[in-house]
A and B are shown apart, each in its own frame.
Chain A
């Protein structure tokens, strides 16, 4: 190889290499950026029943999806009317990512009327841009909620109420994830019943409780990184 050929090869590499750096950098960012979202109207998770309906999940390449159920019944645990689950968003390494999930229901009844409501909205929102990452549950609400015969208005996040003989219920339950800088996520469950059974000791006394199932009504999850 003569010197001119070598110089020409080096020059060509100098011209092409920066292009591969840019392409590689974008590809790397594309792999890192992600938006996640899912929502559902009702879910029951017990040893005998494990089901969600309606249920929507954000595709990995972003988009908008919906699932709907005009009348939903999961065993003897929960009935619901006018249930919709919607997710929308996408991952964009250049201009930011976002994910928005919502679950809405009309009339709902849990455990044969032990808990009822006639308007449930769960909204989870996550965004990531140059200023950082954040999530919120703005837009979530409960209408005409009754728990064991007691009217509950606008419950604070993570309100817990005992349900004697059943377990307990978490209202407006929120779980936040991420560092708030490069990642953020949130799950909001508007009604979450934790089914429990007592644990009996050797002398027949109650020594604790074990969880045997979960019922969730109005769940929305979003996340970005």
Chain B
């Protein structure tokens, strides 16, 4: 009986140690730095998480109000990302999987007769942002994408992703940058909710899950 008790104690200790190890923060892991320093989305950690959903942004200006429909000044998207908290040799937080589909309906972003359509081909990093006021969670992630209109491949992109409660419209936020296209849908005004540089969703929802 004492052997069994010892085994139980050992198992419990191992389990606690495993949980403690897996929950330990790794504050030095940072993804690619794009753009100027921000008041939000500046401190990251590699922990398991998942972010799902999609919706609509009316950028510019990217506030909670929809632009007049006839202006066609809006973007729609679907995106999810999953990470298990692993890092590469350089300390970058790795993503397990993800996807991004992005449509920019603005007339000035029509390319080859169609709205700009960005399609992620690879998610290379994903990390949790710990310095935002996104009350349900925030993430910073990105990778490579293809421009469906032109076939351009392997363009770097970065996303700032904010779950700021329910409903998503008027609360959650999203921003994206594709430097090679000089493309930036972001709202760096600190006075705008929910957390700069994200723009406020006018439709849809982002949902953060603090687990893989």
Contacts and interface: CB of A to CB of B under 8 A. Distances in A.
Interface of A: 4, 7-8, 11-12, 15, 62-66, 68, 70, 82, 84, 86-90, 92, 94-98, 100, 102, 104, 106, 118-119, 121, 123, 125, 127, 129, 131, 134, 136-144, 154
B24 to A, nearest CB: 21
List 4 A-B pairs, minimum CB-CB distance, nearest first: A139-B203, A88-B78, A143-B69, A138-B169
A125 B55 contact: yes
Contacts of A140: 203
B168 interface: yes
Contacts, number: 158
Contacts of B56: 102, 121, 123, 139
A139 B54 CA distance: 11
Contacts of A119: 69-70, 72, 105
Interface in B16-72: 50, 52-56, 66, 68-70, 72
A209 B210 CA distance: 54
Interface of B: 1, 4, 8, 50, 52-56, 66, 68-70, 72, 74, 76-80, 99-101, 103, 105, 113-115, 117, 119, 148, 166-170, 201-205, 207-211
Contacts of B103: 84, 86, 104
B72 A8 contact: no
B122 to A, nearest CB: 14
A84 B119 CA distance: 13
7 contacts: A84-B76, A88-B52, A90-B50, A90-B52, A97-B207, A129-B166, A138-B203
Consensus secondary structure, chain B interface: strand
B83 to A, nearest CB: 14
Contact of B69 (A87, A88, A121, A134): A121
A131 B167 contact: no
Contacts of B201: 139
Given A15-B8, A119-B72, A139-B202, A100 B167 contact: no
Given A11-B1, A100-B53, A125 B168 contact: yes
Contact of A8 (B4, B119, B205, B210): B4
A14 to B, nearest CB: 10
A70 B54 contact: no
A101 B162 CA distance: 19
Contacts of B167: 125, 127, 134, 136, 138
Contacts of A102: 54-56, 76, 78, 203-204
A136 B169 contact: yes
A123 B207 contact: no
A144 B70 contact: yes
B70 A131 contact: no
B66 A141 contact: yes
A139 B101 contact: no
